[in-house]
Amino acid sequence: MSRLIVASIGPASSVQDGGRYGAQRYGLTVSGAMDRLALAAANTLVGNEPLAAAVEIGPFGATFTAKDGAVRLAIAGAPRNADVAGRPVAMETSVTLKDGETLTLGFARGGAFTYLAIEGAIKGELVFGSLAVNARAGLGSPYPRPLQAGDELTVDAASGAPELRIEMPKPVSGPIRVVLGPQDDEFDDANKALFLDSEWKISATSDRMGYRLEGPAIKHLHGHNIVSDGTVNGSIQVPGNGAPIALMMDRGTSGGYPKIATVITADIGRLAQTSAGTAFRFKAVPMAEAQEEARKFQQLIRTLPDRLRSSDTVELNIEALSDANVAGYAVSAMDAGTWQVTAEP
């Protein structure tokens, strides 16, 4: 076995996996990774199960040092500068730290969370079937709290497998998609339109429990109290002050505020990766579309291994070179159609 030492790390960083299920009726929330696709990509790069436990790193930087042997890692999610002993490390690739080497990660750019997966996954004692940390509840393993400098993770020694990269699909852009309800009848048409037509920003006071949304006040038809009922990841409730809160992975399992809409499964990671202060909008979609997008999302996670490539493979992107205008015309030696001229009859 080897060890990965947390040499330095910022707040909002913890061990997360796919979450714990089956006990929400008892008030035990799911927790787990804020961006499941990024978690799955990092794990796939080092041969783990897609939703195995990894380190979820918040917006600030972090450093990790290998001890007692080499450690093979992978990073995916919010882009940031990364290097090992001064050698740059690309996002969405694997890298092996030799004994004593340190991986240095900078601040996140254009996102909030980056996932550091470790070959063989993080070791710990399951808590209700998961290692996922919920700091408020004191749950999780190997540390039931955010990670701190000096923490040690027991991991498998590096296998010596070749380093890989993963070709992720182009990120989805545009509004965050929601299904209206389940209590959208607690808001009149004007306020539902206000919710959908306005720009929103995530407050800096947000956390894994909920993203507070800054924008216009949404008014209720019959007051802000309802009989408490169940919530799900992505429920958007509107408290008495009219400022919506999008419930995230450490949410409570029930709540007593009307929920105007619910973020679709396929877009929860997109919302989670939206940086505080960045403007965005919501778009209402039918339930059938939300379900179809959820199926596509799960299929993407299942087929991530098909997207693995050798990190030594360099593919010429003709379109990108042409757009860069670095030459009058870009060709590929592997594709005669881009350079061979056929004589006209």
pTM of the model: 0.89
Per-residue pLDDT at 344 exceeds 60 = no
Percent of the chain scoring above 90 in pLDDT:
88
**Residue-wise burial string across 229-261, b where 16 or more C-beta atoms lie within 10 A, e elsewhere:** eebbbbbbbbbeeebbbbbbbbbbbebebbbbb
Mean pLDDT value across residues 240-263: 97
Residue 324 pLDDT grade (very low, low, confident, very high; cuts 50, 70, 90):
very low
**pLDDT on residue 315:** 44
Q: SS3 breakdown of the chain: % helix, strand, coil, rounded to 5?
A: 20, 25, 55
Full domain range(s) for residue 160: 2-166
pLDDT digits (tens, 9 = 90+) for 31-57: 999 999 999 999 999 999 999 999 999
Residue 234 φ/ψ region, left for φ over 0, alpha for ψ in the -120 to 50 degree band, beta for the rest: left
Last-in-domain residue among 166, 190, 213: 166
**pLDDT on residue 235:** 98
Per-residue pLDDT at 316 exceeds 80 = no
Round to whole Å and give the CA distance between 103 and 58.
16
What is the count of structural domains for the chain?
3
Mean pLDDT value across residues 151-171: 96
pLDDT digits (tens, 9 = 90+) for 64-88: 999 999 999 999 999 999 999 889 9
pLDDT digits (tens, 9 = 90+) for 95-136: 999 999 999 999 999 899 999 999 999 999 999 999 999 999
283 lies in the same domain as 199: yes
7 located within any domain: yes
181 lies in the same domain as 161: no
**Residue-wise burial string across 207-224, b where 16 or more C-beta atoms lie within 10 A, e elsewhere:** ebbbbbbbbbebebeeeb
Nearest CA to 334 among 312, 313, 315, 319?
315
**pLDDT on residue 311:** 87
266 lies in the same domain as 184: yes
Per-residue pLDDT at 331 exceeds 70 = no
Radius of gyration of the chain (CA): 22
Mean pLDDT value across residues 286-314: 93
